Structure 1
């Protein structure tokens, strides 16, 4: 026989006999296969149903009875997808411990056996369960957010939206945990906007942590830039035509010559252009990268108020640099912060013969370095400043000048006032100039999570009842910006002063950036050693250098590194991070 047709046409009788013998076996096998497939399908449907029901009941903020009702409703709806399931029943139990909340859901059902049931086989009974687990450790999250000028209007808008989305997830989980286990502050969050410096002037700030008139000996901006050891507090007082023992913010405190602080009397004059906005310089090494508490007994641990000096050139409005007034005040090559008139010193005119308007003096001459340094370090221009002289200072918008140039909005220490936190997020703006210093932002991220001063809202590091995380955002690489072709400074002023002051341990811009990268790695290592979970979100900045810095040497897991190409995608990334931070684990 060559084919099936020949087999069927055979009259030998063998095939018919074999078929008759095999038919019951074939039918039984097919029936068992159908019932087996139905059993697996029903079991899968019931498991999905109990999983979904446990998660739904665990996520709701209602009381236990209402959670149980949610469990039963979702279980019934899910089990209806298993067409052979009947007698579906279930229950859920909630159990809390010191650091977790556990929900155990149980479900049972019978599976109809379509074939074997005809031979008096009993229908199959299923008993399944699912367990959800959620940490009830206190959660502390620091959002360390780059507010530099490269963000632009759209970038800062999308960043605000993304940060608020993360905040909303934290808010909802905080409310849920308060109901679940009665924690007073189950989740708190902090905001650290940064450029090259960080603004610490908030409601919780205590001026005793600042270096007063006996300034921090290392970080005080003096020597070549301010003569006679004049402190930054003196300069703000001078600029306000105030007594030199009156210091800011808004003259609410006085400092003695030894740096002791006491209340008032308050001065009536609090002109914003004359007031310390709140930024501070980086501390001296090694305190620049750690959370050592500030103490008057060790002046190196105190924070020096930020004061961006008036740079060489005539007083000019924001939007003009000091290279003949030709640029927008955000110039990589020349001075960007000339806000006081200093065109006459020792009887010498500042104008350089033959130069155009906004005449500059000795930019290219033999005495350029000495003359420009003398102009910049002349403190009499602050004490003699008139209201007219101050008219060129601008602290609104993204391009600013004056002593608070490129100083962002203030830190928000750890709080569960999520409304207030979102208001502060809304107040964030982008600031041109100065550069980008992620190490300084991260150092303050560590400080807001710390239980030690200057902010004391954090739980202990490595405490098994506390979980901590940093969400870092930046849209570029670390950068030292401005004045690279000028005779002095070699950069804009920032948290480390000027580049040629050697506080970067170099006067080379490229080497300085390399050092800031290394400092960033150090702070990341400090945080990881304290069991702080680190996430990094980079917008249009997924460079080889940044991957090596943040993915390989900063985040706690490579999956915590997010490279984002479009600002509109920031919201989904921040939501994903929020969901991970408040994750509900399912076990079955």
Structure 2
């Protein structure tokens, strides 16, 4: 028992001494731990390096995707695109050897439905330490432990469609020479706009499986906008005279039954009608601006009747009361024709419809579009109404107005009555009598060519249509930027009047309005000589002396701030009013998802009037989705161009439009 107890105690003591003895224990423990430590270290180092290479591969893949998308939009061929993508990818691999990364490319036209560029990469990672560790534990490359494969993928969606309205200033100042050039501003603008069309057309051709990927429309504007004379029977036009602005400059009560029971006007159910047998085939039809264009008649030609003669005055006396000399001439048969036809310009709708895209409907007459009809301003244009050589009209008052293209009704002596009495329009202009000067008549202030609706520029015919329309632009008249902008919005809109645009709810489609002008908004004032109290020349807002029936002010001043004087009828106040109208239409369009780009041409911040125009254009512009300023905020899509760098600014616009079609 004792010896056994002694032996047990001795054994325990030996163990305690062994555990306390560290002279050779560390080396043994290190040797035992080396395998897992080295394995862990190998894994840590290789995992870090593997993560880095995977990160570099993904970055190269994303960068190559964006760059390749731009290359596609530039119009490169499939072979060029694939070579470019491979080169860009390999150049940006960083720590990864190109031989270890294999790139695969699926171009948009190879996808069902198109629109997505797919880049994928297979990365073969070669570990640094892991092969040695694998050998230590008896593994070989045949076990797949000395190389690792990883896959990465990046997709770039190219937006399918883009709709752009070019709203281009065609006012008279576009005839001026562009700064730094020897060419007219309009010539420089045409070249820059056509280059923009060409650039975007080449890009759009690559979108092979998308219908109408890029469409462009054109809105030339000056004092008004021309929507095309072929629109005269469209349902969105006021063809019955029910708009509250349709009869602003006509007083049909002058044509009552008492004055002429065979040819009079009657108001019934909100419409003025032709009544009486002397109206002929148009009896009982509405009296409208369209009907006036059809009814105003002139003797256009004549043919002498053989063996006839009549005595006419060859020289009236100075007071017109007698004839000093007579002559004989044959009797004639006269041919008649319309004096003028509607050229296609419309007035601005009353507020708020002037600055929005509300659908025109007869249930809300104020939303309908009204043809422009510039009234004959007071003064007789001719005095002999029966071609006998003796005057029948004697009042030679000039009143100081320019747009005098007809003779007034002889009952009237005051300027207001002579302007609004419509009976004058139903007398025939005698053959050989004086004609109005160039540019004057019922189409006064209608100086631009018609709008060109959206055209698919990937089709040769569509591109030619828009380019030809740009080439046909001719500068003349004042500047009304808000009216041009409003029509730019309506061109890209899906609703009437122009319905070529895609639905606003359609995904992957951007609607863009590009507005260019070379000056401030202008509306002609008349100064102090204004007996008819017109207050302005006639243009898109009519006469500013005419108060809107539902308000106590003229339409131009409606819904403007206190900065616009409501009884001030001078050019500077008109400019302030138009500037505010411009901000309203821009705000409304942007709220509806339309992107607004603005361009000023040859405007200087050192001139106060031009500085205001620049500020107005910049405020109107949308913010870029891609470019940022020095403050880190999105840049405004506003471009201040000179004649010499206009083409470069349009290239920047082309880049911005290209970016709109890429979503990474």
TM > 0.5 fold call: yes
Q: Name the counterpart of 1:93.
A: 106
* 1:338 aligned onto 2:404: yes
Within the alignment, does 1:427 sit opposite 2:472 as a pair? yes
Cα deviation per residue 1:159-186 (whole Å; 9 max; x = unaligned)?
Answer: 1112212211222222121x2xx11111
The one of 594, 616, 628 aligned to 1:549: 616
Displacement of 1:196:
2.5
Conserved? CA contact 2:121–2:152, under 8 Å: yes
Where 2:635 maps in the other structure, the secondary structure is: helix
Residue number among 428, 433, 439 corresponding to 1:384 in the alignment: 428
Range with bigger deviation, 480-489 or 198-207 = 198-207
2:440 aligned with 1:401, yes or no?
yes
Question: Are residue 469 (structure 1) and residue 516 (structure 2) matched?
Answer: no
- Tell me what 2:363 maps to: 297
Say how many residue pairs are matched.
461
Q: Distance in 2 between matches of 1:198 and 1:293?
A: 18
Q: What is the aligned counterpart of 1:151 among 174, 183, 192?
A: 174
Q: 1:296 to 1:269 in 2, by over 3 A?
A: farther
Instruction: Pick the aligned partner of 2:535 from 490, 496, 511.
Output: 490
CA contact (8 A) 2:217 2:453 kept: yes
- SS of residue paired to 1:495: coil
Distance 2:469 2:254 in 1: 38
Unaligned runs of 5+ in 2: 1-52, 127-147, 177-183, 256-271, 273-286, 300-334, 383-396, 457-461, 547-553, 558-565, 625-633
Question: Cα offset for 1:471?
Answer: 0.4
* Residues 65-74 or 476-485, more deviating: 65-74
Structure 1 contact 140–187 (Cα < 8 Å) conserved: yes
Check if 1:453 corresponds to 2:515: no
The alpha-carbon distance between structure 1 residues 62 and 275, as it changes in their structure 2 partners (threshold 3 A), is same
Are 2:353 and 1:287 aligned?
yes
Specify whether residues 269 and 224 from structure 1 end up closer, same or farther in structure 2 by C-alpha distance, changes over 3 A only.
closer
Contact map agreement 1:204 1:455 (CA 8 A) in 2:
no
Q: Which region of structure 1 is more displaced relative to structure 2, 97-106 or 282-291?
A: 97-106
The CA distance in 1 between the partners of 2:498 and 2:663, in whole Å, is: 36
TM score, norm. by length of structure 2: 0.59
Map Cα deviations across residues 47-73 of structure 1 (whole Å, 9 max, x no partner).
699689835863465775664356557
Is 2:523 the counterpart of 1:508?
Answer: no
Question: How far does the alpha carbon of each residue in 1:403-422 deviate from its partner, in whole angstroms, 9 at most, with x for none?
Answer: 21232110111121121011
Deviation at 1:424, TM superposition (A): 0.8
Residues 219 and 283 in structure 1, CA contact (< 8 A), matched pair in contact too: no
Give, in whole Å, the separation in 1 of the partners of 2:190 and 2:495: 29
- The secondary structure found in structure 2 opposite 1:274 is coil
Q: 1-side partners of 2:521 and 2:289: how far apart?
A: 26
Give, in angstroms, the shift of residue 492 of structure 1.
1.2
Moved more, 465-474 or 566-575: 566-575
Which residue number in structure 2 is paired with residue 54 of structure 1?
68
Change (3 A) 1:208 1:403: same
Residue deviations 1:96-126 (CA, integer Å, cap 9, x gap): 5878422427598999xxxxxxxxxxxxx99
Q: Distance in 2 between matches of 1:126 and 1:205?
A: 70
Residue in structure 1 matched with residue 372 of structure 2 by the alignment: 306
8 Å contact 1:202–1:412 — kept in the other structure?
Answer: no
Q: Confirm or deny: 8 A CA contact 1:219 1:281 kept in the other structure.
A: no
Distance 1:290 1:87, change over 3 A: closer
Change (3 A) 1:553 1:535: closer
SS in 1 for 2:244: coil
Contact 2:65–2:119, Cα closer than 8 Å, also in 1: no
In the alignment, which residue of structure 2 is the partner of 1:414?
Answer: 454
* 8 Å contact kept, 1:148–1:431: yes
Mapped contact 1:61–1:175 kept (Cα < 8 A): yes
The 1:512/1:425 distance shift into structure 2, 3 A limit, reads: same
Change in CA separation of 1:556 and 1:310 when aligned onto 2, cut-off 3 Å:
farther
Picking from 68, 82, 86, the partner of 1:68 is 82
Confirm whether residue 233 of structure 1 aligns to residue 300 of structure 2. no
How far did residue 375 of structure 1 move? 3.3
Task: Please report how far the alpha carbon of residue 214 of structure 1 lies from its aligned counterpart in structure 2 after TM superposition.
Answer: 2.8
| 1:247-262 equivalent positions in 2, closer than 5 A | none
Task: Select the residue among 570, 583, 587 that pairs with 1:521.
Answer: 583
Q: Deviations over 1:423-473 (max 9, x none)?
A: 1111111112xx322221111112112211111111222532321111011
Asked if 1:537 corresponds to 2:599, the answer is yes
Match of 1:578 in 2: 654
User: Which is greater in Rg?
Assistant: 2
Alignment partners' CA distance in 2, 1:55 and 1:452: 32
What is aligned with 2:638?
A: 562
Deviation at 1:92, TM superposition (A): 2.7
User: Following TM superposition, by how much is the alpha carbon of 1:537 offset from its aligned partner in structure 2, in angstroms?
Assistant: 0.3
Query: CA separation in 1, counterparts of 2:114 and 2:614?
Result: 35
Q: Match of 1:484, SS? A: coil
8 Å CA contact retained: 1:209, 1:303? yes
Question: Partner residue of 2:415?
Answer: 372
Unaligned runs of 5+ in 1: 1-39, 112-124, 243-267, 317-323, 326-332, 349-369, 395-399
Are 2:166 and 2:219, in contact at CA under 8 Å, matched by a contact in 1? yes
Q: Secondary structure at the match of 1:549?
A: helix
**Aligned partners of 2:214, 2:166: CA distance in 1, in Å?**
13
Equivalences for 1:181-220 in 2 at 5 Å? Answer: 182-201=209-228, 206-220=233-247
Instruction: Give 3-state SS (helix, strand or coil) of 2:107's partner.
Output: strand
**8 Å contact kept, 2:445–2:538:** no
C-alpha separation in 2, matches of 1:556 and 1:85: 39
Match of 1:353 in 2: none
CA-CA distance at 1:536 after TM superposition: 0.5
Counterparts in 2 of 1:134 and 1:498: CA distance versus 1, 3 Å: same
Instruction: Output the TM-score relative to the length of structure 1.
Output: 0.66
Relative to structure 1, the CA distance from residue 402 to residue 105 in structure 2 (aligned partners, 3 Å threshold; closer, same or farther) is: farther
